[in-house]
């Protein structure tokens, strides 16, 4: 796979190479050691205690990080398979893409209890079950976005390049490696980075959770914080937050930055842009002779073998499908196979669905009505959180966006702030609420905002900096000021971005409602009346009918709002306020 | 000589939204023999690129067959390679890697592939650039990579899709010469070249034979043998006479098919996408020449591409501001009057000709006048057009008509309400 090798000229070994070598060794050793901790015996009665000693934090951080990367790897594999099938098979596309759309808007955290129970049943008596559930929660927070990005790249691959690949007789594997993956790379890296940032939230929420009357703690930073909150240990809380911050920054600098820089070589435009991202880690790796050796002796041969195997498979499968096509009887095969799969999946789902339905049917209508009411309360909170977010982010975001100097400073800071899991900050606000006896019915809106406002801010800045310079100049020539300028120039130009930001923020707020409507500090529990609190209480008690009902109602709310509010605004933004 | 590629009764129809399938190619049969350099000529939108893609096996024909060495092809034609107008280079691969892509399906070791690719890179004149990336190269050099990538697999037939149109004049000339030299000196094992182009001069300069297609649906109008010995002098009388001949073939079909005979048939003809302003400029230029002018010379004199030129000729004859006789264009009395008129008089003249020669405009006005509020939703007219043209074309035709009628001050249009109304009512 020539794709993954850069043209590196011969360089001498340097001191940096020793550091890199040491780093690689330590990395392998750590992964082994951390991985060993994943499959220790476990039962809700006898579980690994979470120590509040700060010197345990590096280990916990490692465990959390391992979870994040496993989930990311899983998301990546899912993305490739799901996205590829959806893009290549017309029939599958009709099912997979709407399904993905729904999966994307469903509040993931609501399902946590279900998945934990399922995974624990898979790995009885081992911590692996809970580990998997946590990883799965992170996965569900990451995968959909990345899959959409990959799918989109596949279907929008430039037509002339596709034709060139076809006429050069590339098989599907060669096409994937030489054309489709490179085309998708920039979007994939960017969306991967964003999804990974969002994943921290799910990590923190899924490590320590009360399910079916049991408190489950996975060794990790999130659990450390939860234990600290339970014990009311302020110092430990600070430590855990600091650890989180360091982790986020390190992953950004060591992993994502170099990837972003590397992915720039897959730009489709044939012109060179002036504003290229840079990364010192990437430069370091580029310059290292060791990396070159590893590339030459380990990675390249491995890639070659891998490439060879898949090439053979592709050749065989192409030949097989050709011979099948010539026999006209099996011409409908590309339609029949997914059809059978769909029927199979539906069949498997039939029984659980029936059970769930029976469960719902057994509930009283009064209960149903009250749940809808709870959903409405949460809906109001989500709306208020979004509005409050708009009120402060628009003026500040526009200010930053119009001043390149400011945006250069603030962009990375905001990016870190956005990836920082808001639920780790909840304890501080909870303490304030307890101290000043704030009405939590309204107070929890602040908790919701904590995580979601960044998406709006991000998009406001992006929208503002994409206003064409000539429009700004025109507005200053005509001496446009105040409300007039906002009305004619700024608001219309940031509108499409604003809608995108609001959609993401609204999804985040619904998710956040599950963890933010019910918080505790030491001995104090704060509960707000709403669907989120309802779901998390039902999860703690292990009341299945309530869990199922709560999640269903929340999904209905979210999907309805998406269909009737966001999609319409989005279309309006595309048609009317699109700047080309 | 044996037939390398045989195209037999190929038809192509595309399903268009809002209308039954539109025919793009009709009954195309061509034999390409070994040693032949064939040019396929036609106005833009005539489906010549579609024909090339059918030959390549990139898209299937609706009916008819394409055979390579006597056997009908299924899927991609095994004997061809293609050069694209947009170059279609992979930006993340170096020149060498791009060219080696042409050998990807061959059973060779990497070293053999590399050696072959380097040899071809040398032939197409890119020696020393093998490690450069496409973005570092100029347009002409990029297309050399495209040609190299096509040649490296030693195809029997080289397909070129407007391969020189994206390049500037000098670069294109240089590249044409170099390719022709490779071909004539047999430096490449290619047995036939098929070049799709809209440039008549390009075709006459390079090819042994030119096939001329008409527009929508494309049929073969003429198959012209070009026997002038190489290298051809573009200023020689033989050269110019063939160019002239082809030129008249390309314009003839269209102009005989146009109104004035058509109005009573009430059949909608697709109108050429030309703004009123462009037409005015064109007529003024013709007026300045003050004589009957050869169409081909006119195009080169205005330094224009056929792409821009044909619609202008088409509209000025449609509105009877000019007439074309045997490849020569001449202003009519109205045309001369128009060219000399003031801005306001022009509007009046334009409106008169529009009403007289574009039946649909007349129809629109009649409909608007019959309404009490003199207003009509634009969708109504679009639907009328869509019955003949399909939704997409109907929209662009409607926009064109509105722009003409606004210029002629016949109707007004409110974009927010999407309503057409008569000028006089407001």
Q: The tokens 């160019």 sit on which residue?
A: B243
CATH class, range B269-339: mainly alpha
Instruction: Report the number of distinct structural domains present in chain A.
Output: 2
Nearest residue in B to A186, CA atom? B92
Percent of chain A past pLDDT 90, that is, above it, reads 15
Are A376 and A244 found together in one domain? Answer: no
Q: What is the pLDDT along chain B (426 residues), one digit of tens a residue?
A: 578 999 999 998 887 655 566 788 889 999 999 999 999 998 877 788 899 999 999 989 989 999 999 899 888 899 899 999 988 998 888 999 999 988 887 888 889 999 999 999 998 989 889 899 988 888 899 999 999 999 998 999 999 999 998 888 888 888 999 999 999 998 889 999 999 998 888 999 999 999 999 877 888 988 999 999 988 988 888 998 898 888 888 776 444 444 443 333 355 778 888 888 888 888 888 888 777 777 777 777 776 666 667 788 888 888 888 887 777 788 888 888 888 888 888 888 898 888 888 888 888 888 888 888 888 888 888 888 887 777 778 888 888 888 888 888 888 888 777 888 886 644
Nearest residue in A to B151, CA atom? A168
> Among residues 345-384 of chain B, which lie with CB inside 8 Å of chain A?
none
pLDDT in tens, A288-313: 778 778 878 888 888 888 888 888 88
Q: Which residues of B touch A153 (CB under 8 A)?
A: none
Determine whether the interchain pair B104/A168 forms a contact, defined as Cβ–Cβ distance below 8 Å.
yes
What pLDDT score was predicted for residue A578? 66
List A524's β-bridge partners, or say none.
A521
Whether A339 is covered by a domain: the verdict is no
Whether A296 is covered by a domain: the verdict is no
Are A446 and A550 found together in one domain? Answer: yes
- Give B166 or A323, the one with higher predicted confidence: B166
**Both structure tokens of B62:** 């609706």
* Helix A234-251 and helix A221-231, axial crossing angle in degrees, nearest 10: 160
Domain boundaries, chain B: 3-251, 269-339, 358-425
Mean pLDDT computed over A14-43: 72
Consecutive H or E run containing A378: helix A365-402
**Both structure tokens of A437:** 């006896």
Distance CA A533, CA B324 (A): 81
The residue among A375, A374, A503, A530 whose CA lies nearest residue A447 is A530
Whether A165 is covered by a domain: the verdict is yes
Determine whether the interchain pair A160/B90 forms a contact, defined as Cβ–Cβ distance below 8 Å.
no
CA of A477 vs chain B CAs: smallest distance (Å): 27
Q: The tokens 């499959």 sit on which residue?
A: A39
**Both structure tokens of A104:** 């994307």
Whether A262 is covered by a domain: the verdict is yes
Determine whether the interchain pair A2/B93 forms a contact, defined as Cβ–Cβ distance below 8 Å.
yes
Whether A147 is covered by a domain: the verdict is yes
Distance CA A538, CA A549 (A): 10
Q: Which of B60, B75, B88, B129 to mutate to test binding with chain A, by most A CBs within 10 Å of its CB? A: B88
DSSP state of B11: E
Q: Which residues of B touch A168 (CB under 8 A)?
A: 81, 101-102, 104-105, 149, 153
CATH code, domain carrying A400: 1.10.3720.10
For the domain bounded by B358-425, which CATH number is listed?
1.10.10
pLDDT in tens, A83-138: 999 998 888 888 888 888 777 777 777 777 777 878 888 888 778 888 888 899 89
Are A91 and A207 found together in one domain? Answer: yes
Whether A53 is covered by a domain: the verdict is yes
Last residue of a domain, one of A234, A258, A282: A282
Q: Which of B56, B78, B135 sits opposite A271 (nearest CB)?
A: B135
Last residue of a domain, one of A251, A282, A313: A282
Q: Does B104 touch chain A (CB under 8 A)?
A: yes
Whether A136 is covered by a domain: the verdict is yes
Domain range for A512 is 363-576
- CB-CB neighbours of B28 under 10 Å: 25
**Both structure tokens of B381:** 């007219």
List Cβ neighbours of B319 (8 Å cut-off, separation of 6 or more): B279, B350, B353, B354, B357, B358
- CB-CB neighbours of B237 under 10 Å: 8
Residue A571 φ/ψ region, left for φ over 0, alpha for ψ in the -120 to 50 degree band, beta for the rest = alpha
pLDDT band per the 50, 70, 90 thresholds, residue A9: very low
Contact A374, A549 (CB under 8 A): no
Q: Which of B58, B89, B135 sits opposite A163 (nearest CB)?
A: B58
Are A108 and A252 found together in one domain? Answer: yes
pLDDT in tens, A525-561: 888 889 989 988 888 887 777 887 888 888 888 888 8
List Cβ neighbours of B120 (8 Å cut-off, separation of 6 or more): B99, B148, B151, B152
User: In this model, does residue A274 exceed pLDDT 60?
Assistant: no
Please state, in angstroms and as integers, the Cα–Cα distance from residue A336 to each residue in A88, A99, A326, B84, following that order.
Answer: 15, 19, 17, 36
What pLDDT score was predicted for residue A333? 62
What pLDDT score was predicted for residue A292? 79
List Cβ neighbours of B385 (8 Å cut-off, separation of 6 or more): B268, B360, B393, B394, B397, B398
Most confident segment among A342-346, A424-428, B79-83, B410-414 = B79-83
Determine whether the interchain pair B104/A267 forms a contact, defined as Cβ–Cβ distance below 8 Å.
no
Q: Which residues of A touch B84 (CB under 8 A)?
A: 160, 163-164
User: Does the model's pTM come out above 0.80?
Assistant: no
Pick the CATH number of B3-251 from 3.40.50.1370, 3.30.420.40, 3.40.50.300, 1.10.510.10: 3.40.50.300
Q: Which residues of A touch B75 (CB under 8 A)?
A: 322
Contact A375, A554 (CB under 8 A): yes
Last residue of a domain, one of A282, A314, A346: A282
Determine whether the interchain pair B88/A163 forms a contact, defined as Cβ–Cβ distance below 8 Å.
yes
Whether A38 is covered by a domain: the verdict is no
Distance CA A554, CA A560 (A): 10
- In angstroms, how far is the first alpha carbon of chain A from the final one? 37
Are A99 and A242 found together in one domain? Answer: yes
Q: Does B86 touch chain A (CB under 8 A)?
A: yes
Q: Which residues of B touch A269 (CB under 8 A)?
A: 91, 135
Q: Edge-to-edge strand order for the sheet containing B36-41?
A: B80-83, B157-161, B192-197, B36-41, B209-213, B220-225
Per-chain mean pLDDT for chain A:
82
């Amino acid at each position: 796979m020539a794709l993954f090798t850069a043209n590196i000229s011969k360089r001498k070994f340097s001191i940096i190479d020793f550091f890199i070598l040491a780093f690689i060794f330590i990395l392998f050793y750590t992964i082994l050691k951390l991985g060993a901790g994943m499959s220790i015996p476990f039962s809700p009665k006898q579980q690994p205690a979470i120590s509040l000693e700060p010197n345990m934090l590096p280990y916990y951080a490692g465990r959390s990080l391992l979870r994040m990367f496993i989930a990311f790897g899983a998301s990546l594999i899912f993305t490739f398979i799901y996205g590829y099938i959806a893009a290549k098979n017309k029939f599958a596309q009709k099912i997979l893409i709407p399904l993905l759309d729904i999966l994307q808007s469903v509040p993931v955290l609501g399902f946590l209890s279900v998945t934990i129970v399922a995974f624990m049943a898979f790995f009885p008596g081992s911590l692996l079950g809970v580990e998997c559930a946590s990883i799965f929660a992170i996965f569900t927070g990451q995968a959909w976005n990345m899959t959409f990005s990959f799918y989109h790249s596949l279907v929008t691959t430039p037509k002339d390049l596709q034709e060139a690949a076809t006429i050069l007789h590339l098989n599907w594997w060669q096409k994937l490696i030489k054309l489709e993956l490179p085309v998708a790379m920039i979007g994939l890296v960017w969306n991967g980075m964003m999804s990974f940032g969002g994943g921290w939230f799910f990590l923190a929420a899924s490590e320590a959770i009360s399910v079916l009357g049991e408190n489950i703690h996975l060794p990790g930073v999130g659990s450390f914080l939860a234990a600290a909150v339970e014990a009311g240990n302020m110092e430990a809380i600070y430590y855990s937050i600091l650890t989180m911050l360091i982790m986020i920054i390190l992953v950004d600098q060591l992993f994502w930055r170099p990837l972003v820089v590397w992915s720039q070589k897959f730009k489709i435009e044939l012109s060179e842009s002036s504003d290229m991202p840079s990364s010192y880690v990437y430069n370091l790796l580029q310059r290292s002779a060791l990396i070159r050796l590893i590339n030459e002796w380990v990675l390249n041969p491995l890639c070659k073998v891998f490439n060879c195997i898949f090439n053979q498979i592709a050749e065989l499968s192409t030949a097989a499908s050709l011979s099948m096509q010539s026999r006209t009887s099996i011409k409908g095969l590309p339609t029949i196979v997914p059809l059978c799969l769909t029927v199979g999946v539906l069949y498997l789902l039939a029984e659980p669905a029936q059970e769930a339905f029976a469960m719902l049917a057994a509930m009283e209508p009064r209960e149903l009505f009250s749940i809808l009411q709870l959903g409405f309360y949460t809906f109001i909170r989500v709306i208020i959180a979004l509005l409050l977010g708009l009120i402060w982010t628009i003026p500040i975001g526009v200010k930053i966006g119009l001043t390149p100097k400011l945006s250069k400073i603030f962009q990375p800071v905001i990016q870190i702030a956005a990836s920082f899991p808001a639920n780790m900050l909840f304890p501080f606000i909870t303490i304030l609420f307890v101290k000043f006896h704030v009405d939590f019915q309204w107070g929890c809106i602040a908790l919701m905002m904590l995580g979601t406002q960044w998406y709006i801010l991000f998009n406001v800045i992006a929208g503002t900096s994409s206003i064409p310079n000539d429009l700004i100049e025109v507005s200053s020539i005509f001496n446009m000021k105040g409300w007039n300028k906002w009305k004619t120039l700024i608001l219309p130009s940031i509108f499409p971005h604003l809608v995108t930001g609001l959609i993401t923020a609204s999804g985040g707020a619904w998710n956040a409602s599950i963890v933010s409507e019910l918080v505790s500090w030491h001995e104090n529990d704060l509960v707000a009346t709403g669907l989120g609190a309802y779901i998390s209480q039902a999860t703690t008690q292990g009341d299945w009918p309530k869990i199922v009902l709560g999640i269903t109602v929340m999904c209905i709310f979210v999907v309805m709002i998406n269909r009737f509010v966001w999609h319409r605004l989005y279309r309006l933004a595309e048609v009317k306020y699109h700047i080309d | 000589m044996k037939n390398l590629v045989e195209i037999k009764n190929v038809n192509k129809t595309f399903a268009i939204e809002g209308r039954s399938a539109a025919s793009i190619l009709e009954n195309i049969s061509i034999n390409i023999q070994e040693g032949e350099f064939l040019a396929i000529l036609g106005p833009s939108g005539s489906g010549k690129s579609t024909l090339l893609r059918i030959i390549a096996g990139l898209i299937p024909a609706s009916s008819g067959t394409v055979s390579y060495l006597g056997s009908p092809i299924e899927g991609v034609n095994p004997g061809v390679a293609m050069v694209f107008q947009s170059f279609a280079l992979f930006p993340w691969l170096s020149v060498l890697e791009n060219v080696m892509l042409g050998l990807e399906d061959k059973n060779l070791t990497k070293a053999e592939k590399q050696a072959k690719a380097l040899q071809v890179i040398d032939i197409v004149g890119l020696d020393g650039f093998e490690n450069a990336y496409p973005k570092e190269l100029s347009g002409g050099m990029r297309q050399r990579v495209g040609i190299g990538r096509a040649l490296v697999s030693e195809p029997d037939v080289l397909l070129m899709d407007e391969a020189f149109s994206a390049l500037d004049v000098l670069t294109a000339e240089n590249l044409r010469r170099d390719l022709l030299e490779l071909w004539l000196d047999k430096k490449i094992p290619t047995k036939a070249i098929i070049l799709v182009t809209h440039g008549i001069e390009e075709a006459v300069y390079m090819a042994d034979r030119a096939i001329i297609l008409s527009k929508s649906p494309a049929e073969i109008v003429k198959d012209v043998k070009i026997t002038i010995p190489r290298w051809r002098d573009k200023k020689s009388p033989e050269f110019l006479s063939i160019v002239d001949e082809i030129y008249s073939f390309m314009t003839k079909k269209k102009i005989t098919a146009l109104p004035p005979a058509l109005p009573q048939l009430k059949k909608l003809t697709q109108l050429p996408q030309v703004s009123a302003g462009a037409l005015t400029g064109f007529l003024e230029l013709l007026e300045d020449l003050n004589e009957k002018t050869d169409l081909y010379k006119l195009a080169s004199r205005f330094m224009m591409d056929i792409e821009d030129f044909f619609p202008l000729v088409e509209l000025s004859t449609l509105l009877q501001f000019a007439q074309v006789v045997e490849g020569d264009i001449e202003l009519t009395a109205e045309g001369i009057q128009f060219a000399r008129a003031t801005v306001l008089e022009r509007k009046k003249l334009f409106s008169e000709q529009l009403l007289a020669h574009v039946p649909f405009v007349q129809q629109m006005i009649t409909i608007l006048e019959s309404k009490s509020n003199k207003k009509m939703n634009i969708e109504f007219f679009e639907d009328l057009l869509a019955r003949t043209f399909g939704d997409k074309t109907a929209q662009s035709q409607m926009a064109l008509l509105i722009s003409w009628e606004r210029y002629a001050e016949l109707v007004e249009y409110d974009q927010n309400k999407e309503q057409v109304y008569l000028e006089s009512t407001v």
